[in-house]
Amino acid sequence: MVGLLVLAGVGTTGCASTGVHRDPPVTVVLVDCSKSVRGNQTQWPHEISTIAEKVLTEEGRLRVGCFAGTAVGVLWTIDVKGEEVHKVTGGAPAKREYQRVWARQLEGAFRQAAQPRKEAGTDWLNALEAASQTEELAAVYIFSDLIQEDEGIDLTMVQSTSHLEAIAREWARRLGGLHGVTVRVVGAGQGIGAAVDRQGEALFGYLKEDVPFAGRLLATVP
């Protein structure tokens, strides 16, 4: 989990109980930069910019991190408050245009950063755990094929259903911060082989029930 914890606890503490201040809701985007997903990484930056524009329009906060194996950790991060965008003067049309321009610029940054890394391994479970510790967390997007290959788990090899269920039970205790959070996965089932790909989807499904959280598998971002 080295490096991934930079995603957690970055926001200031809200004061919802007194009504004085509450930080805007946070959307965390986790991007798999491992070698196994290089075929999907050309489309992902555009989809991430779509998420960014939506979050900023709703005056939310966006955090983006790229992950590979545990030893690599987060390779880059972006942290933006939508409220800064809403300081733009000139009414709603000017704000919408600013958001579109900002999202296009962000897409370029994503495209440059989200390049496949040579390091072996993919550790989306630790990335998800780091995201679960984010204050005011509202939603998580994971761009990955969900083929876990770290933390003693190797989903490049066929695993039994009982073993996947046991992994889910263990990790559900570590992912308690996702309780009630919306978690969407883009790219699952598009990895190295059908039988192996289904295992990542199955593990995600077990986690969704054990935590629980509102999980969805998406082909693309709506």
Q: Which tens digit of pLDDT belongs to each residue from 5-50?
A: 333 333 323 333 445 556 788 899 888 877 777 666 677 888 888 8
By residue count, the chain amounts to: 222
Highest mean pLDDT among 107-111, 190-194, 206-210: 206-210
| Domain positions in the chain | 23-145+182-190
Per DSSP, which regions of 69-207 are E strands? Answer: 77-81, 137-143, 149-150, 153-154, 182-186
- Vertex 156: Cα angle to 117 and 65 (nearest 5): 35
Is this structure's pTM higher than 0.95?
no
Q: State how far the Cα of 219 lies from the Cα of 139, in Å rounded to an integer.
A: 17
Q: State how far the Cα of 125 lies from the Cα of 178, in Å rounded to an integer.
A: 12
Average the pLDDT over each of 52-66, 107-121, 180-194 and give the range with the smallest value.
107-121
Least Cα distance to 53 among 106, 129, 132 occurs for 106
